[in-house]
Amino acid sequence: MADYKAPLRDMRFVLNEVFEVAKLWAQLPGLAEIVDEETAMAVLEEAGKVTSKSIAPLNRGADEEGCRWDNGVVSTPAGFIDAYRTYAEGGWVGVGGDPAFGGMGMPKVISAQVEEMVNASSLAFGLYPMLTAGACLSINAHASEALKATYLPNMYAGVWAGSMCLTEPHAGTDLGIIRTRAEPQADGSYKVSGTKIFITGGEHDLTENIIHLVLAKLPDAPAGPKGISLFLVPKFLVNADGSLGARNPVNCGSIEHKMGIQGSATCVMNFDEAVGYLVGEPNKGLAAMFTMMNYERLGVGIQGLASAERSYQNAIEYARDRLQSRAPTGPQAKDKAADPIIVHPDVRRMLLTMKAFNEGGRAFSSYVAMQLDTAKYSEDPAVRKRAEDLVALLTPVAKAFLTDLGLEATVHGQQVFGGHGYIREWGQEQLVRDVRITQIYEGTNGIQALDLIGRKVVGSGGAFYRLFADEIRQFIASADSDLQAFSTPLEAALNSLDELTDWVLDRAKSNPNEIGAASVEYLQAFGYVAYAYMWALMARTALAKQGQDDFYASKLGTAQFYFARLLPRIHALSASVKAGSESLYLLSAEQF
286-304 confidence digits (pLDDT tens): 888 777 777 789 999 999 9
List of residues 6+ apart from 301 with CB closer than 8 A: 361, 365, 398, 399, 400, 401, 402, 403, 438
148-180 confidence digits (pLDDT tens): 999 999 999 999 999 999 999 998 888 889 999
In this structure, how many other beta carbons lie within 10 angstroms of the beta carbon of residue 6?
A: 24
- Which ranges of 13-122 would DSSP assign to H, the alpha helix? 21-26, 29-32, 37-50, 59-65, 80-89, 108-121
- Distance, in Å, from the CA atom of 116 to the CA atom of 299, rounded to the nearest integer, reads 8
Residue of 442, 491, 514, 521 with catalytic role: 442
Angle at 151 (CA atoms; ends 107, 192), nearest 5 degrees: 120
Map residue 271 onto helix, strand or coil.
strand
Domain count, the chain: 1
Q: What are the b/e assignments for 212-251, b being 16+ CB within 10 Å?
A: bbbbbbbeebeeebebbbbbbbbbbebeeeeeeeeebebb
Question: What are the C-alpha distances in Å from 355 to residues 116, 180, 412?
Answer: 15, 45, 11
Residue 299 lies in a domain: no
Per-residue confidence (pLDDT) for residue 360, from 0 to 100? 98
Q: How confident is the model at residue 546 (pLDDT cuts 50, 70, 90)?
A: confident
Q: Closest by alpha carbon to 135, among 113, 164, 106?
A: 164
346-361 confidence digits (pLDDT tens): 999 999 999 999 999 9
392-410 confidence digits (pLDDT tens): 999 999 999 999 999 999 9
Beta bridge partners of 195: 270
User: How much is the mean pLDDT over the chain?
Assistant: 97
pLDDT of 200 higher than 80: yes
Map residue 38 onto helix, strand or coil.
helix
Residue 216 lies in a domain: no
Cα dihedral value 391, 435, 252, 178, nearest 10: 40
Residue 559 lies in a domain: yes
- Distance, in Å, from the CA atom of 231 to the CA atom of 190, rounded to the nearest integer, reads 8
List of residues 6+ apart from 167 with CB closer than 8 A: 196, 197, 198, 199
pLDDT of 117 higher than 80: yes
- Cβ contact 132:158 at 8 Å: yes
Per-residue confidence (pLDDT) for residue 427, from 0 to 100? 97
Per-residue confidence (pLDDT) for residue 163, from 0 to 100? 97
Residue 571 lies in a domain: yes
Residue 155 lies in a domain: no
DSSP string computed for 414-450: HHHTGGGGGSGGGSHHHHHHHHHGGGTSSS-HHHHHH
User: Does pTM surpass 0.95?
Assistant: yes
- For the chain, how many helices (H) and strands (E)? 19, 11
Angle at 485 (CA atoms; ends 481, 490), nearest 5 degrees: 105
Terminus-to-terminus CA distance in the chain, angstroms?
Answer: 43
431-445 confidence digits (pLDDT tens): 999 999 999 999 999
- Give the helix, strand, coil percentages of the chain, each rounded to 5: 60, 10, 25
Considering only residues 291 and 23, tell me which one the structure prediction assigns the higher pLDDT: 23
442 flagged as catalytic: yes
In this structure, how many other beta carbons lie within 10 angstroms of the beta carbon of residue 15?
A: 25
| Position 179, amino acid | R
Question: What are the C-alpha distances in Å from 428 to residues 261, 396, 431, 435?
Answer: 13, 27, 5, 11
| Position 568, amino acid | P
129-153 confidence digits (pLDDT tens): 999 999 999 999 999 999 999 999 9
Summarize the confidence of residues 206-229 as an average pLDDT: 96
- Distance, in Å, from the CA atom of 272 to the CA atom of 140, rounded to the nearest integer, reads 26
In this structure, how many other beta carbons lie within 10 angstroms of the beta carbon of residue 389?
A: 18
Strands 229-234 and 266-279: antiparallel
The number of residues making up the chain comes to: 592
Beta bridge partners of 269: 196, 252
Determine which helix (DSSP H) or strand (DSSP E) holds 483, and give its type and residue range: none
Q: What are the b/e assignments for 135-163, b being 16+ CB within 10 Å?
A: bbbbbbbbbeeebbebbbbbbbbbebbbb
- Distance, in Å, from the CA atom of 45 to the CA atom of 148, rounded to the nearest integer, reads 30
- Distance, in Å, from the CA atom of 369 to the CA atom of 15, rounded to the nearest integer, reads 11
- Distance, in Å, from the CA atom of 51 to the CA atom of 57, rounded to the nearest integer, reads 9
Residue 332 lies in a domain: no
Q: How confident is the model at residue 336 (pLDDT cuts 50, 70, 90)?
A: very high
479-490 confidence digits (pLDDT tens): 999 999 999 999
pLDDT of 104 higher than 90: yes
In this structure, how many other beta carbons lie within 10 angstroms of the beta carbon of residue 466?
A: 16
Residue 453 lies in a domain: yes
- Distance, in Å, from the CA atom of 135 to the CA atom of 168, rounded to the nearest integer, reads 19
Cα dihedral value 558, 563, 565, 566, nearest 10: 100
Radius of gyration of the chain measured on its C-alpha atoms: 24
% the chain with pLDDT above 70: 100
- Distance, in Å, from the CA atom of 300 to the CA atom of 5, rounded to the nearest integer, reads 21
Q: Domain limits at 553?
A: 444-583
Q: Across the chain, which distance is largest between two alpha carbons, in Å?
A: 84
| Position 423, amino acid | I
% the chain with pLDDT above 90: 95
pLDDT of 334 higher than 80: yes
Summarize the confidence of residues 341-347 as an average pLDDT: 98
Residue 467 lies in a domain: yes
Per-residue confidence (pLDDT) for residue 531, from 0 to 100? 99
